[in-house]
Amino acid sequence: MRILQVAHQLPPRFTAGTEVYTLRLAKALTRLGHDVHLVSGDDSGATRPGALREGTIDGLPHTFVGVDRIASTAEETLFPPATRGALKPLVASFSPDVIHVQHLRHLGLHVFDGAPPVRRVMTLHDHWLACARDGQLLDAAGQPCPGATPERCRSCLEGFRFGLGRGEAAVARMLSRLGVRPGSPAARGLRSGALALRRLRSTESGRPYDLEARRRAVSDLAAVTDRFIAPSRHVADALTAFGLPPGKMVVIPHGVDADVAFRPVPAPEGAPLRIGYMGTVAPPKGLHVLVEAFARLGRGVATLRVHGRTDLRPEYVASVVGGGLPAGVTIEGAFRPEEAPRRLAEIDVLVVPSIWPENHPLTIAEALAHRVPVVASALGGIPEIVKDGVNGRLVPPGDPEALAEVLRRLARDRVELARLRAGITPPESFLSHAASVVVAYDTREVS
């Protein structure tokens, strides 16, 4: 089977869950004997917006689509002008049997306009189709949103920056070409100047957010999509409620690279509880909640190792570490996906303190594959993976005291920690997961 797999961005430049999943799935599909061609957006300036550039990634053929991330309205995030029909020539030349869309952010819902008709499948990695605020279903105050309504969305999106201004985009491309790190002081200064210029020369239309227009756009997308794959029942139900047809929806949880799994290295007797955090350091991920909870444990009770990108939201990182981190906390930065087994082997428990309704975090699946119990927020699709008292513990999102109490108990009761570890049933392998995805490619709409 010839499969065109499309994502908004891919490693090695990015290492977030959706991008890591996309590349792993491509490799697994290749191992199953399928011919996979990868596509992703490129906002580095190396590819003109709307143009295509050929390359490879980990030995797989890869086409870059130039994107500029410029948007002043919600409509422009769904239909960026530069990318309309951009993938038409690639679809015609590659002649795929299936187009598997992982995400269309920055690429646009119209990127296939004019292309020959091909069976299309889309995996739903977040709430982006329903939520114009980056698909995270968080309101302007950073609290979970109960769902889209015209009044709620208008209030939430008032003053929201949907994308880059033209000056910001030009600065971002220039910094990338010069090799300037995005989170560096020079980059922040230049981007701040571009943002100030944007405010002075604002071209915002002032039009109120039109939720019904978004529903119509999603309905049009559903009409040309044969199958939607949801990694969690949570996101399947949420987007079905928004208007996706239930007959086209199937739930397939993520798999893991089980062939690289190994057991944790036990801590010495009487050693502090070894806590790990793995994820982008950004407000929705809730690191501030974990740091506050850790501070309540007291000196010597535990250690905390923070792994994840710190360059995307430098102002948030500064707010977390600005007053000084508690003793025992180290910020170790990002690591490549293949390093995850070793990092997980060095901790006793993984904490996922998200305050946004996550879908099916790959970090949790990987931790369970490595027999590491998980303490996580009881939110979104997380309770479908973490079973409270069985393979981990669930806590109310945004509640540092509740989180501290659970961690305090695990630190003093290693028997419970061992019981949670013994209660873990590892997720299915990525190869098995890929086989389930192939079945979804062939499965027609169900009643």
> What beta strand segments (E) does 242-312 contain?
249-251, 273-278, 302-307
Handedness of CA 41, 43, 47, 50 (dihedral sign): positive
Q: Model confidence over 349-400: pLDDT tens digits?
A: 999 999 999 999 989 999 999 999 999 999 999 999 999 999 999 999 999 9
Class of the 258-422 domain? alpha beta
Q: What is the pLDDT of residue 1?
A: 94
Closest CA to 303 of 280, 332, 338: 332
Q: What is the mean pLDDT of residues 392-419?
A: 96
Topology given in CATH for the domain delimited by 2-162+209-255+434-442: Rossmann fold (3.40.50)
Q: Does the fold of domain 258-422 match that of domain 2-162+209-255+434-442? A: yes
What's the CA gap between 188 and 17, in Å, rounded?
A: 25
Domain assignments of the chain as residue spans, ordered by start: 2-162+209-255+434-442, 258-422
Amino acid at residue number 215: R
Closest CA to 411 of 249, 257, 297: 297
Token duo for residue 213: 């227009």
Q: What is the pTM assigned to this prediction?
A: 0.88
Torsion of CA 380, 382, 383, 386, to 10 degrees: -170
Q: Model confidence over 249-293: pLDDT tens digits?
A: 999 999 887 555 455 666 777 899 999 999 889 899 999 999 999
